[in-house]
Structure 1
Amino acid sequence: MIEGLTFQTPALLPDQPLISFVVPVYNEEECVGHFAAAIATVIAESWSDGGPPPHFEIVFVDDGSRDATAAVVRAMCMLDHRIKLVSLSRNFGKEAALSAGLKAATGDAVIPMDVDLQDPPELIRPMVDLWRNGAQIVNAKRIDRRQDTFFKRATSRLFYKTINAIADHPIAVDVGDFRLLDRSAVAVLNEMTERCRFNKGLFSWIGFRTETVEYARPMRRTGYTKWRLSRLVALALDGITSSTTLPLRVWTMIGAITSILALGYAAFLLAYTIISGVDTPGYASIMVAVLFLGGLNLFSLGLMGEYVGRISMQVRGRPLYIVAETIGF
């Protein structure tokens, strides 16, 4: 909650850039106040060595929360004009919520962040410095993830290795949504029309001059993660299908090779039958062949179904998200 927290509105200096923090939230009523206070404190301390700090805004995107998250952010908006709210009509998922925040942000640079403060605000100053020196994207790379569970580290490592082995444009390893994006990069991202959104892949695809800062991932300070295994699997599938069509090409090659082998085997059987006569057919060999080819067919059909399903979603043309309410803009 926001009890005991105060926010101040500083005098605006026209020569200072505006930094937008985009923060998707879902059932995070206990976290949003601590996050806003931490951002304000860190920015003031990071520029305490001289020179005015940049202006900033915090765009909270409420992704259909069922608790008092939206109400808490509304109250915060009344205390500080730098805090803004985009409230979606229901839960559309983090990728859609992040896209809504990028669309709403007005800053010269945009920094997507998690509300749990596992994305350290202390990195804001070095990221802004690199941006001011010409970088258009500044990635924040996690070099120490011991605070994450072993399962999460292992599956994340497997995901990055898999997608970078097959993707047309590899994504940065151990770099999440936490990064700085120049306004020119945000403008390109806002023009993209994908319905099955995988923002990490889009961040990589657009290019631009990129720099990297490194950090050790801290513990989550408040709340608990809302990611379930099913959502992580769905996100991984979206990432693979939106980044490459290689799986389809692979199964085309497997089908061609299987057909060639089947034709060769048919020719062998024909020649063997003409020369040696007909043997009693073997049940085991027939079942092995049927099950093997049937399994390949079902797997390849399922893979094609993943792509066809996403094509269907794209063709419908439904909006990626629906905004129910905005405050502070």
Structure 2
Amino acid sequence: MTQLISIVIPVFNEQDNIPVMIKALQRELGPLPYRYKVIFVDDGSSDGTAAVLKQQASMYEEVRFITFSRNFGHQAALKAGLDMADGDCVISMDGDMQHPPHLIPLLLSKWKEGYDVVYTVRKEDERLSYSKRQTSNLFYSLLNGLSDIDLEKGTADFRLLNRNVVNVLRNLQEYDLFFRGLVKWAGFKQLAVDYEPDERRSGESKYNFKKMMRFALQGITSFSTKPLYAATYIGFLFSLLSTLYVPYALYSRYFGEAISGWTSVIVTIAFFGGLQLMILGIIGIYLGKLFMQSKQRPVYIVKESNI
């Protein structure tokens, strides 16, 4: 029987891009010797995305959709798509046309060569602003430096997963998901493919600096306890440094030299107070993840679907 390819596409306020994406996928997948289904996951869009998906699903048999009850985030949408996909392999990609559909035949050819995971690495796009490129580089530097995984700079959520890998990811019970790290952590036979991103057809990027930093912290705390060790080491270091103040205090006490005034004391208190709050914040992030995981709430809630 002809093998089935599932395409999972999370979308959020992408009503204008959906018809363009479907046409592009039909153009690329139509000539290939595979059956395919396209699963759009509407992550609680506030525009007409849900209505467009219903319309397109009524026009094309291969189009499926899942609509969330609210916005649960990109990673939750990916999880929903993987949970519903029944293909022999699953290709995930964004719905803004920046992940080029013309790369899909290459991903499939590498899959047929025996690779379980074929992931893409974005080449640096000179069209992006300097700040955007530096933010992206900072994201991967922080992630690789403070976690136990090693992701190439530019690693994207545009990837092909074999059915055995999909089954592993579907069975994970994590609440705070970070699929770029989970795919790397899972192992199997993996291959990276470079690509140049296409221009966004319409709309605007959903990732600002704040979301990128939160995404980095999510990845770091999901795959490493290094920040906790770092906090411990910093505590030990400053405890040792503080002992250097003891000889000075004793000297001043017995030889009658006045110790510096309140300004130095206030600065010291403010510094160590900030350091303690930072360390407590690190510990709090890990405790918060445990708290949310212990609730065992679903990662997403489906409002409507044609699957």
TM-score, structure 1 as length reference: 0.88
Report the equivalent of 1:276. 255
Q: Secondary structure at the match of 1:311?
A: helix
d(CA) in 1 for partners of 2:294, 2:224: 19
**Number of residue pairs matched?**
307
Tell whether the 8 Å contact from 2:252 to 2:259 is kept in structure 1 after alignment: no
**For residues 70-92 of structure 1, what are the alpha-carbon distances to aligned partners after superposition, in whole Å with 9 as ceiling and x for unaligned?**
12111222222211011111111
Gap regions ≥5 residues in structure 2 = none
Cα 1:26–1:106 shift into 2, 3 Å: same
Gap regions ≥5 residues in structure 1 = 1-13, 48-52
- Give the superposition deviation at 1:204: 1.2
Tell whether the 8 Å contact from 1:147 to 1:217 is kept in structure 2 after alignment: no
**For residues 164-189 of structure 1, what are the alpha-carbon distances to aligned partners after superposition, in whole Å with 9 as ceiling and x for unaligned?**
11211212321110011111111111
Sequence identity (%): 38
Cα 1:149–1:21 shift into 2, 3 Å: farther
The code of the aligned residue for 1:215 comes to: Y
Which of 120, 124, 138 is the equivalent residue of 2:118? 138
Cα 1:316–1:262 shift into 2, 3 Å: same
Report the equivalent of 1:311. 290
**For residues 127-150 of structure 1, what are the alpha-carbon distances to aligned partners after superposition, in whole Å with 9 as ceiling and x for unaligned?**
111111110000111124123332
After superposition, residues 91-130 of structure 1 pair within 5 angstroms as 91-130=71-110
The answer to whether structure 1 residue 246 and structure 2 residue 260 are counterparts is no
d(CA) in 1 for partners of 2:133, 2:79: 26
After superposition, residues 71-86 of structure 1 pair within 5 angstroms as 71-86=51-66
Tell whether the 8 Å contact from 2:139 to 2:213 is kept in structure 1 after alignment: no
Tell whether the 8 Å contact from 2:142 to 2:216 is kept in structure 1 after alignment: no
Q: Secondary structure at the match of 2:123?
A: strand
- Give the superposition deviation at 1:269: 4.3
Cα RMSD between the aligned structures? Answer: 1.8
Q: Secondary structure at the match of 1:179?
A: strand
Report the equivalent of 2:174. 194
TM-score, structure 2 as length reference: 0.94
The code of the aligned residue for 1:305 comes to: G
The answer to whether structure 1 residue 163 and structure 2 residue 146 are counterparts is no
Tell whether the 8 Å contact from 2:118 to 2:191 is kept in structure 1 after alignment: yes
The answer to whether structure 1 residue 24 and structure 2 residue 10 are counterparts is yes
Tell whether the 8 Å contact from 2:67 to 2:302 is kept in structure 1 after alignment: yes
Cα 1:298–1:44 shift into 2, 3 Å: same
- Give the superposition deviation at 1:26: 1.1
d(CA) in 2 for partners of 1:99, 1:236: 19
- Give the superposition deviation at 1:155: 0.4
